Amino acid sequence: MKKYGHIIKFERIRQNLKQVQLSEGICTPSYLSRIENNSIVPTDEVLLELFNRLNITYSNSSLTDEEFMEKMRTIYSKALKYRDSNWVSISLKEILETKYLFSNPMQFHTFILMLVRLKIISNQGISDDIQSFMLSISKFIDDFNPYQSFLYYSCLGYFNYFKNDLTKSLKCLEKAAFLIPECKFKEFESADFYNVFGILNLYHNNLILSLESFSKAQDFFNKELLLSRAVETYISSAIAYKRASNLEKHFEYLSLAEKLAKDAIMTENLALIYSNLANYYSINNNIDLALINYHKSLDFSTDPFVKLRIIYSIVLQYSITYNFKKVVEWCEKGLMEYNTNQSHLTKNLYHHFQIHLSIHNDYEDFETKVKDAVQYFKEINDYRNAHKYAILIANFFKNAGKYKKATNFFVLANEYLAKKEKRLFKEEI
């Protein structure tokens, strides 16, 4: 007979129920425990009562576990190759409507982990639903094979990425990367992983590792003519070379990306490319060309997150040229855009706009706005900006003769600097 204890256990944990709550009036908690461990097969009556209490519905499919998983793998493959969130959402809905029940626990674990990955791709990055799935499947981690462990730590890394906790995200992906030699991968899966792994290493300034990761992803994307994904890696590689102060390679990779994106009319990618070209011209002190490219980037952008980053870059360019009237104008545009499309991903830019606006409006509410920013950046472990703004407000208090407050923020700034540089000690001040 088929056993479904793993499904009952998964749903019970996901719905935050204890064994005594689920079993009440149906069976004893110890009997439920044996059902969940698949050590016994309950009667049809007990099984149905447990399913009803957990709102588990199912259909009588003629497919075997392996046949259904093959359908899932096909969707998973296409999702990781093309990253089309709308298509993934439709496919997710179709596969969930099937209401298939896995009798094989290992197949069930793989299905749930792939399901979480698809939910993340379909722009459900930090939903409560995904959080409950991750918590529930984590209780089976001792039963995972290496591939399932890779999927689990990858999903946990992507989940933390969308929560904007990039430090925790990288740690999870490093655990996943450690498992790669033990796994048999399809190329599309390793390419997608290395692309994200490269981005996170780039954020943490691990430039050699990020470039190696992008190169591995590029090889597959180019071979399979996945031009949009290839362009992504060219842009990321260009950014890595810029951080390595190799501006020649930086410009070369941006030019490659621009050619591919223009040929295939990749609007959002062109927005990123022109934004990075603008930054290249800014580094070379050509502010006019920088602003031209930022405005081109804004013309192509439809993503609110990208638009806000571009607007902030324009604010910085006008700040460099002391055109404070334009700084105020573009800060107000940025806040208007943020208020229209509020997101945890753009909250950092909200704080940047608020502080710039305050500085150029006679320091209106300056203390409150900077303190809020310091607290926010500290909470998301962005110690670079936490340090920057702690120094800013410390100097503000020092210049105002408020030396005790100034000292408190200089101490905080020193603490954030140590964390930013990953030092185990703090400089004495």
The model's pLDDT over 320-361, given as tens digits with 9 standing for 90+, comes to 999 999 999 999 999 999 999 888 888 999 999 999 999 998
Instruction: Indicate whether 21 belongs to any domain.
Output: yes
pLDDT (tens, 9 = 90+) of the chain, 429 residues, equals 688 999 999 999 999 999 999 999 999 999 999 999 999 999 999 999 999 999 998 887 888 999 999 999 999 999 999 989 899 999 999 998 888 999 999 999 999 999 999 999 987 556 778 989 999 999 999 999 999 999 999 999 999 998 888 999 999 999 999 999 999 888 999 999 999 999 999 999 999 999 999 999 999 999 999 999 999 999 999 999 999 999 999 999 999 999 999 988 888 889 889 999 998 999 999 999 999 999 999 999 888 888 999 999 999 999 999 999 999 999 999 999 999 988 888 899 999 999 999 999 888 899 999 999 999 999 998 999 999 999 999 999 999 999 999 999 999 999 998 888 776 555 555
One DSSP character per residue, 340-382 reads: HS--GGGHHHHHHHHHHHHHTTTTTTHHHHHHHHHHHHHHTT-
Which of 298, 322, 321, 320 has its CA nearest to residue 309? 298
Is-above-0.85 flag for pTM?
Answer: no
Query: Residue 33: which CATH number?
Result: 1.10.260.40
Q: Indicate whether 248 belongs to any domain.
A: no
Question: pLDDT tens digits for 6-30?
Answer: 999 999 999 999 999 999 999 999 9
Distance CA 8, CA 386 (A): 45
Q: In which domain, by residue range, is 12 found?
A: 5-57
Give pLDDT, residue 129. 85
Around Cβ 398, how many Cβ atoms within 10 Å? 15
User: What does the radius of gyration of the chain's CA atoms come to, in whole angstroms?
Assistant: 26
Question: Does some domain include residue 395?
Answer: yes
Alpha-carbon span 347 to 189, nearest angstrom: 31
What pLDDT is attached to residue 185? 84
Report how far residue 112's alpha carbon sits from residue 37's, in angstroms, rounded to the nearest whole number: 18
In a domain, 193, yes or no: no
Element (H, E) at 120: helix 105-121
Q: Residue 9: inside a domain, yes or no? A: yes
* Inter-residue contact 194 to 213 (CB < 8 Å): yes
Exposed e or buried b per residue across 357-377, where buried means at least 16 C-beta atoms within 10 angstroms of its C-beta: bbbeeeeeebeebbebbbebb
Distance between CA atoms of residues 8 and 208, nearest Å: 46
Chain centroid offset of residue 68 CA: 29
pLDDT (0 to 100) of residue 428: 53
List pLDDT tens digits, range 273-292.
999 999 899 999 999 999 99
- Residue 71 falls inside a structural domain: no
- Measured CA to CA, the distance from residue 203 to residue 294 in angstroms comes to 22
Beta strand spans in 211-330 (E): none
SS3 state of residue 427? coil
For residue 279, being part of any structural domain is answered with: no
Query: Quick one: tokens of 226?
Result: 């996945």
Q: What is the pLDDT of residue 184?
A: 85
Count up the domains in the chain and report the number.
Answer: 2
Using CA atoms, how far residue 345 sits from 109, 115, 184, 304, 400, in Å, is: 30, 23, 34, 10, 34
